[in-house]
Amino acid sequence: MGVKAHRSILIKLPKDKCDVDYIRRLMALTNLAYRGYEAWVPDLPKTIQYQIYGSFRDFKGSLVFGVEPKRWLAKTWVPLKTLRFYPDGSRKGDIGAPLVLDFRNNIIKLHQVCRNKSRYVATIPMPRWVVDRLSEGGDVKYAMIGLRDNEPYLALVAEREVEPYQPSGYVLAIDINSWSHGITWGLLRSGRIVSFKQEGLNSQRIVSLYNQAVKREKKVGRLKRLGLEDTLNAKRAGRLVRRLRSRAYRLIRAEAVFLARKLTKKALRYRAMVVIDDVDWESLKELLTRRYGGKVGKLLLSGLKRFVKLLVTQLQWYGAPYKFRRLYSKKCPRCGHKLTQQKGRTMVCENCGFKAPRDMVPMYWALKLFETMKK
């Protein structure tokens, strides 16, 4: 029997087509619906309010909503029913849905959820991502609209029923490590390491961008304290701070997306069982914040978590079996004793004589786990 897998995409909506204040009001009504209340507002379209309260029960337990917000003023996104028109002329969904995905003309239509205006429709191009998920047998049943950093966004969630494949005998072991030394992976088969690679990540570039932003942020602060926040230099420095932070965030996201896609393709090519390092996030957080500083360390940790989430989501979508197992780098895979690090990041066991590069040690643990799983 197949299992349901999901993938999601976040689409930024043009501000000239979407009224931010109107979307914020809809989000407030959704927050009330989360808590079991209904507040019918006279100047809002009844169809949209019925959409929020009438369909909320169907959406509350779905992937779209996830965890119930704990605060009264939480920014709760608005659930949207969808109507899909397919290239073969068929259609699925609610005929009165406020969100229409037209695969015949490759457009998305949002009815009266972007602006409080009678029969208002906002039209945006269909992202290639949605077409690709449809070609893979998925269907976009869930959607939300909301605000992030005061910008309007549309979230689409594709659903697909997939049967996990039977592993061919290969194991793809992935050691999370940290952004400092990259992600390492090894392809294992028949008790040996077939291939191994360390994917270098540009952590120094990320840290440099962030530190430059902090430096200029301090300059803006000094100018504000002198009452010069409206000067040309202050405005220019403020714009540069935003650009530098944005570049650092984009770089982290791009690296996470690239690695998750690459390793998923490798798992599918070899029909491998994927073993992912079950990392101790608290220890890693302490390491990163100690090495780079609190805020930078948290930024790098968010990139790692994003990578793991993207990787698992894609493995589930394509039916690749995976397991989380602890892959140690400071513990001997032969006898379990603590390893000693020598020059050049070489790990040595003083008890049994085991010796290997530090980044290779988790691969030997994966070999050991693989032999245990076969028994």
Please list, residue by residue across 13-40, b when 16 or more beta carbons sit within 10 angstroms of its beta carbon and e when fewer do.
beeeebbeebbeebbbbbbbbbeeeeee
pLDDT for the residue 12: 95
The beta strands (E) that lie in 33-136 are given as 78-80, 82-85, 91-93, 99-102, 107-111, 121-125
* β partners of residue 174: 185, 276
Domain layout of the chain by residue ranges: 3-159, 171-327
pLDDT for the residue 282: 77
Q: What are phi and psi of 14, to 5 degrees?
A: -70, 135
pLDDT for the residue 90: 94
pLDDT for the residue 49: 83
pLDDT in 10s for each residue of the chain, 375 residues: 578 899 999 999 999 999 999 999 999 888 888 777 878 888 888 888 887 776 555 555 554 555 566 666 677 888 888 999 999 989 998 888 899 999 999 999 999 999 999 889 999 999 999 999 999 999 998 899 999 888 999 999 999 999 999 999 899 999 987 666 678 999 999 889 999 998 866 777 877 887 888 787 787 787 777 777 777 777 787 888 888 888 888 888 888 899 999 999 999 999 999 999 988 777 777 777 766 667 777 778 888 888 999 999 999 999 999 999 999 888 999 888 999 988 888 999 999 889 998 889 999 999 988 776 655
pLDDT for the residue 29: 87
Question: What's the first-to-final CA gap in the chain, in angstroms?
Answer: 25
Q: How far apart are CA 112 and CA 90, in angstroms?
A: 24
175 touches 270 (CB < 8 A): no
pLDDT for the residue 61: 52
pLDDT for the residue 63: 45
- If DSSP codes are grouped into helix, strand and coil, which group holds residue 235? helix
pLDDT for the residue 86: 93
